[in-house]
């Protein structure tokens, strides 16, 4: 937990010597709490205080970064149980399970590595590969590195992991996995070179193990919670998150790895892992029909609720519009855009959809805030040169802003202004009945 | 090291609501179902058991739908022309309840006939939706409510601009209502208050906070449901109703599920993707507190039911 200014003040020398540039230790403490100054500005802080302050500044869930040959994926640093409380920060990395012994290893990795899918203007990819070292590790890593730069999870016994790790020079892979039987050896191996997965049958045993491994000098750990079904995994994942965030329990303050590839229904287990706090997720194979919906779900869950996704303002073509097709207007709030685009697209009717820059607000909110008025709409119609695309200068306003039609007529004198329905769902019927 | 797991202890709980009446209770259903009753967040068995498991409903229509994805013709086929046959097949596919959607083309007589034929064909509890235009909804749902008096149907969809007539007929004929608001905690509470103020017993209201599909606003529905459930547990009486959501309707509207041609190859196999779209939408909503999810494809139904079976196991 972060300390308050007063708590920090108690750890300072309280001599008000002013060397830090502030008139009192208290003033300096307040600045420290606000993270506006560095502790090093005070030359007189005791070693003990330094340690306490450093601990309090550490995030409750450690940020673990896996590094490949030029690509990186991070997990941890989360601060809330529910996305609406603030946001979830580091999207769980999606890893594809591959085997060193697979004769098609190179091709499989290359196919998954090349995958790129677009969702509302963003490109999504897989994040890395979980490589089972069941044959010559060095050769397998060389093969994989010929096909991808993405980070690796190495799975195998201590000897295989050692061979694998030495073939991953300069990278930070994740080793899988330390349990009670091999914790010492794997801690030695991972120290300073790799992140280490830790697994145990209960959270108590897991906490004992992470402390033991940390004492050996390993900082970056990832937890495998086990769990025989969805319910058990959900329980453990929730408990670990709560212990870290609410009890500041360091021994379980690490990201969690999930293996939907072992579940009854892989997609469902992966969907739960995305919603419920996984940091890394291992999928059995590269299948776009599984991956694409999961990537979208991940994006949705990790979208900052305070900053709704906006779509790019512009003219969107729906169902290959022709010059005689109608012109519809809406705002660039993603959900508003989606509901309009989706209804029209589903109806099969062609249309030009003009998305105006309303700073990511819905029609009513934007109108109330003065971000969706006649001036802005006219600016969009003119700016995107809609007139050059259509034969009939006729624009359909959302029903909620019917009041704007008079002003818009003044702004766009050679256009016919029509008022459409209030709800997107009524658009197809309106287009069929009123626009012909 | 012994761990002390932080546990939440909530002052409030969700109301238990029973849908469908068996003969002992004045209806004809072979069994009723009860949802709600939770005293903590979904499936946290270390805090409290799950008193009633969520139910998977299947959506059928009074007439063959013209705008459904052709992928849905495969599993349903000819029965889509006959609501009674469709109801039977949906029951066989594992539905826990049926949702019959009436259409604009139905007359009040058609609507009553469709509802009666479904009630005769299947003993499952039934939700009936109007076609979604205020006047037409009232015109169809009132005679339906009267004809099925005592069955404890759920009548939908009540919205702020159209709830009075539906609530009144539900009260008069022993039915429940589905109160729908557009993804907003306060709007949801407000409609529940309006409906309660008419004198509707509180154990006959089901909230429908609306959801977006995966990729189309699910995060709003997801968070609104979590917030509603938290409010209920904190003791806010006007949020203490079970929640029904319609991932089937939403997911099958999306291009990702609906169509197989003219879409990016990176979306993968159409059918698997489409069923995944519906299934993941439903799963995420179940994790955020849904008590009823209404689906369309039998494979999604089977998968979501299997997930529920795992989740309710302590
Ligand atoms: S330098 Fe240190 S001791 Fe001196 S006033 Fe600043 S905080 Fe206090």
pLDDT of residue B148: 98
User: So what's the pLDDT on residue A436?
Assistant: 66
| CA distances to A78, A395, B259 from A348, in Å | 43, 19, 11
> If you average pLDDT over each of A340-354, A355-369, B221-235, which comes out highest?
B221-235
CA distance A145 to B119: 62
pLDDT at B6: 94
Largest pairwise CA distance in chain B? 69
- Taking alpha carbons only, the member of B309, B265, B194, B20 closest to residue A229 is B309
For the record, the structure tokens of B243 come out as: 């929640």
ω into residue A94 within 30 of 0, thus cis? no
Alpha-carbon span B2 to A203, nearest angstrom: 9
Closest residue in chain A to residue B44, using alpha carbons only: A235
Higher pLDDT, A53 or A317: A317
DSSP three-state, residue B264: coil
A430 touches chain B (CB under 8 A): no
Residue B138 φ then ψ, to 5°: -65, -40
Least Cα separation, residue A293 to chain B (angstroms): 6
CB A263 within 8 A of CB A269: yes
The reported pLDDT for the residue numbered A1 is 54
> Does residue A121 register a pLDDT over 90?
no
Q: Chain B partners of A275 at a C-beta cutoff of 8 Å?
A: 222, 284, 287-288
Mean pLDDT of chain A: 93
Please check whether residue B217 touches A, CB under 8 A: yes
Confidence of residue B219 (pLDDT cuts 50, 70, 90): very high
A20 Cβ inside 6 Å of ligand 1: yes
pLDDT tens for B107-164 read 999 999 999 999 999 999 999 999 988 899 999 999 999 999 999 999 999 999 899 9
Q: Is B66 on the interface with A (CB under 8 A)?
A: no
Buried b (16+ CB within 10 A) or exposed e, A94-103: bbbbbbbebe
**pLDDT of the residue at B252:** 94
Copy the structure tokens of residue A398.
Answer: 């959302």
DSSP class of A348: T
pLDDT digits (tens, 9 = 90+) for B34-63: 999 999 999 999 999 999 999 999 999 999
| CA trace torsion A405, A410, A415, A419 (10° rounding) | 0
Average pLDDT rounded to a whole number, residues A420-424: 87
Instruction: Report chain B residues whose CB lies below 8 A from the CB of A115.
Output: 266
- pLDDT for the residue numbered A388: 94
Which of A9, A20, A36, A49 has most ligand 1 atoms within 8 Å of its beta carbon, as the pocket-test mutant? A20
Q: Which residues of B touch A116 (CB under 8 A)?
A: 266
Beta-carbon neighbour count of residue B67 at 10 Å?
11
Nearest CA to ligand 1 atom 8: A25
Q: Does residue A312 sit in helix, strand or coil?
A: coil
Q: In this predicted structure, what is the pLDDT of residue A203? A: 96
pLDDT at A88: 96
The pLDDT of B256-280, averaged and rounded, is 94
List the beta bridge partners of residue A314: A355
pLDDT, average across residues A291-317:
91
Which residue did the predictor score with more confidence, B217 or B171? Answer: B171
- pLDDT at A396 > cutoff 80: yes
Answer whether A115's CB lies under 8 Å from A286's CB: yes
Can you give the pLDDT at residue B84? 98
| C-alpha–C-alpha distance, residues A203 and A201, integer Å | 7
Could you tell me if the CB of A18 is within 6 A of ligand 1? yes
The pLDDT of residue A330 is above 80: yes
Say yes or no: B180 contacts chain A, CB-CB below 8 A: no
Q: How far apart are CA A108 and CA A146, in angstroms?
A: 12
Q: Helix, strand, or coil here: B198?
A: coil
Global confidence as pTM: 0.87
Least confident of A261-265, B81-85, B258-262: B258-262
**Whole-number pLDDT of residue B217:** 85
The pair of three-digit structure tokens given for residue B274, joined into one six-digit string: 């489409």
The reported pLDDT for the residue numbered B216 is 85
Determine the average pLDDT of the residues in A428-435.
86
**pLDDT per position as a tens digit, A159-181:** 999 999 999 989 999 999 999 99
d(CA A160, CA B204): 62
Express each pLDDT in A197-219 by its tens digit. Answer: 999 999 999 999 999 999 999 99
Compute the mean pLDDT over every residue in chain B, rounded to the nearest whole number.
96
Whether residue B76 is predicted with pLDDT greater than 80 in this model: the reply is yes
A298: nearest Cα among A78, A80, A119, A77: A119
pLDDT at A307: 75
Are A221 and A187 a contacting pair, CB within 8 Å? no
d(CA B267, CA A16): 64
Look at residue A119 in the predicted model and tell me its pLDDT: 86
Q: B186 touching A, CB under 8 A?
A: no
For residue A41, report the distance from its CA to the centre of ligand 1, in Å: 8
A247 to chain B: which residues are within 8 Å by CB?
4, 6
pLDDT for residue A2? 66
Q: Do A183 and A159 contact (CB within 8 A), yes or no?
A: no
The DSSP string of B98-111 is: EEEEP-TT--HHHH
CB-nearest to B276 from A234, A239, A293 is A293
- Residue at token pair 């920060």: A89
Angle of helix A266-275 versus helix A230-246 axis, rounded to 10: 20
């Amino acid at each position: 937990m972060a300390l308050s200014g007063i708590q920090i003040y108690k750890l300072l020398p309280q001599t008000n010597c002013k060397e830090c540039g502030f008139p009192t230790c208290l003033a300096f403490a307040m600045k420290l709490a606000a993270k506006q100054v560095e502790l090093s500005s005070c030359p007189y802080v005791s070693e003990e205080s330094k340690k306490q302050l450093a601990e309090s500044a550490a995030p409750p869930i450690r940020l673990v970064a896996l590094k490949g040959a030029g690509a990186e994926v991070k997990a941890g640093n989360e601060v809330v149980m529910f996305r609406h409380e603030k946001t979830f920060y580091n999207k769980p990395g999606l890893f594809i399970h591959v085997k060193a012994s697979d004769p098609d290893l190179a091709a499989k990795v290359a196919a998954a590595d090349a995958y790129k899918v677009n969702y509302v203007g963003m490109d999504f990819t897989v994040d890395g590969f979980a490589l089972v070292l069941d044959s010559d590790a060095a050769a397998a890593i060389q093969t994989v590195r010929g096909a991808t730069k993405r980070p690796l999870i190495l799975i195998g016994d201590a000897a295989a992991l050692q061979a694998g790790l030495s073939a991953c020079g300069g990278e930070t892979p994740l080793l899988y996995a330390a349990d009670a039987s091999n914790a010492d050896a794997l801690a030695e191996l991972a120290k300073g070179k790799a992140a280490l997965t830790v697994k145990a049958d209960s959270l108590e045993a897991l906490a004992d193990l992470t402390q033991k491994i940390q004492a050996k000098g390993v900082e970056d750990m990832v937890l495998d919670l086990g769990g025989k079904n969805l319910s058990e995994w959900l329980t453990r994942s929730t408990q670990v998150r709560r212990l870290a965030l609410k009890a500041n329990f360091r021994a379980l303050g690490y990201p969690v790895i999930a293996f939907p590839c072992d579940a009854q229904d892989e997609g469902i287990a992966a969907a739960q892992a995305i919603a419920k706090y996984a940091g890394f997720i291992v999928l059995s194979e590269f299948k776009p029909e599984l991956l694409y919906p999961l990537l979208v779900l991940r994006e949705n869950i990790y979208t900052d609720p305070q900053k709704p996704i906006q779509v790019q303002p512009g003219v969107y073509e729906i169902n290959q519009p022709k010059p005689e097709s109608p012109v519809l207007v809406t705002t660039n709030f993603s959900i508003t855009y989606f509901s309009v685009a989706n209804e029209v697209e589903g109806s099969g009717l062609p249309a030009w959809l003009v998305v105006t820059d309303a700073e990511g607000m819905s029609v009513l909110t934007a109108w109330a805030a003065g971000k969706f008025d006649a001036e802005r709409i006219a600016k969009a119609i003119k700016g995107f040169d809609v007139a050059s695309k259509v034969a009939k200068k006729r624009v359909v306003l959302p029903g909620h802003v019917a009041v704007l039609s008079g002003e818009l007529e003044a702004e766009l004198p050679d256009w016919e202004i029509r008022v459409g329905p209030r709800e997107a769902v009524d658009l197809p019927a309106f287009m069929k009945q009123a626009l012909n | 090291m012994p761990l002390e797991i932080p546990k939440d202890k909530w002052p409030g709980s969700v109301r238990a609501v029973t849908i469908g009446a068996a003969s002992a209770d004045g209806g004809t259903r072979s069994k009723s179902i009860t949802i709600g009753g939770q005293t903590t967040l979904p499936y946290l068995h270390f805090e409290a058991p799950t008193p009633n498991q969520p139910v998977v409903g299947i959506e059928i229509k009074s007439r063959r739908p013209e705008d459904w994805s052709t992928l849905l013709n495969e599993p349903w086929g000819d029965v889509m022309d006959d609501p009674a046959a469709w109801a039977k097949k949906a029951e066989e596919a594992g539905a826990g309840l049926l949702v019959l959607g009436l259409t604009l083309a139905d007359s009040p007589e058609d609507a009553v006939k469709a509802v009666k034929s479904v009630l005769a064909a299947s003993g499952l509890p039934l939700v009936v939706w109007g076609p979604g235009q205020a006047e037409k909804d009232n015109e169809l749902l009132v005679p339906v409510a009267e004809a099925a008096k005592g069955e404890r149907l759920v009548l939908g969809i009540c919205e702020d601009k159209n709830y009075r007539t539906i609530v009144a007929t539900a009260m008069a004929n022993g039915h429940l209502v589905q109160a729908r608001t557009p993804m907003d905690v306060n709007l949801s509470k407000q409609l529940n208050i309006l409906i309660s103020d008419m004198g509707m017993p509180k154990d006959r209201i089901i909230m429908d906070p609306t959801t977006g599909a995966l990729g189309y606003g699910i995060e709003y529905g997801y968070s609104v449901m979590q917030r509603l459930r938290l409010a209920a547990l904190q003791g806010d009486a006007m949020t203490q109703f079970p929640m029904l959501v319609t991932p089937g309707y939403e997911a099958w509207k999306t291009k990702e599920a609906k169509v197989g041609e003219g879409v990016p190859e990176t979306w993968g196999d159409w059918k698997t993707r489409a069923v995944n779209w519906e299934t993941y939408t439903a799963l995420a909503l179940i994790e955020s507190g849904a008590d009823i999810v209404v689906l369309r494809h039998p494979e999604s139904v089977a998968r979501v039911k299997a997930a529920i079976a795992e989740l309710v196991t302590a």
